[in-house]
Amino acid sequence: MTKSKKNLNKIISNIISKIEKNENKKIKLSAKYISESHFKGGKLFIFGTGHNHCLAEEALHRAGGYANACPILDDNVNFAKGIKKASKAERTAGISKSLLKKYKIQKNDTLIIFTNSGVNTAPIEAATLAKKIGAKVIVILSLSYCKSIKDKKNKIYNIADISIDNHGPIGDSLIEISKNIKVASPSIITGSYILNSILLNLGELLKKEKPFPFYISSNQKGANRHNTLLEKKYSSRNKFLK
């Protein structure tokens, strides 16, 4: 194992330890909000622009995943139309307004937003509009990165009901290989860890639900019956289950 690889293991482990130590209460509260939404007939929506769309998809119809979760996906912000167009779109007003309308976000819903810098237009607009609708808004971001950007006054952590720090560094890269250029980003790793930590706590809160609203791997015995029941139950306002 190279020195850089050893350093990466150590750094990622340290970041996750910081999340466990400092964000656990917020993770549990996030699960509580989602469970309350669940019992009121609400849905969990997950939104992220750029690379963060991977984290929105992470919750969709996967083994161990919450069946009542729906990613907010759009080709304008997920690289399908190219990097430059996506980068411009996430900094353009109006994108999130049309998306929240398209996905029919309602007051009993919960919206999780992944945005590492916490200052781009689309995530901030999504948080603001969802709050106006009455939905709960949970943001996962790098707090140090967000606070370091001094020329952007509108910060998403001032809008959200809960802001969870992924404890990533300014610039979202870890190990300097070439002069002034670092390699290896932690935000998708930590984002997935935080998301699954929230869903794990949510599972505990929903363990008496019948059917239990979490998917089984499709290759396991009984998965088809169980998963089909969940797909039918939670297909409303989730076009990916139809």
Q: Sketch out the chain's domains with CATH numbers.
A: 21-241 (3.40.50.10490)
φ and ψ of 81, to 5 deg = -105, 15
Q: pTM of the entire structure?
A: 0.93
pLDDT in tens, 13-55: 999 999 999 999 999 999 999 999 999 999 999 999 888 889 9
Question: What pLDDT does residue 72 have?
Answer: 94
Can you tell me the mean pLDDT for 181-199?
96
Q: If pLDDT is split at 50, 70 and 90, which confidence band does 152 have?
A: confident
- 106 pLDDT exceeds 80? yes
The answer on pLDDT for 75 being more than 90 is: no
Average pLDDT over residues 105-129: 94
State the pLDDT confidence band at 92, using cuts at 50, 70 and 90. confident
Closest Cα partner for 65 from 42, 96, 34? 34
Joined tokens for residue 74: 């759009």
Residue 2: the pLDDT is: 67
Count the neighbouring beta carbons within 10 Å of the beta carbon of residue 5. 11
Q: Residue 211, preceding bond cis, omega within 30 degrees?
A: yes
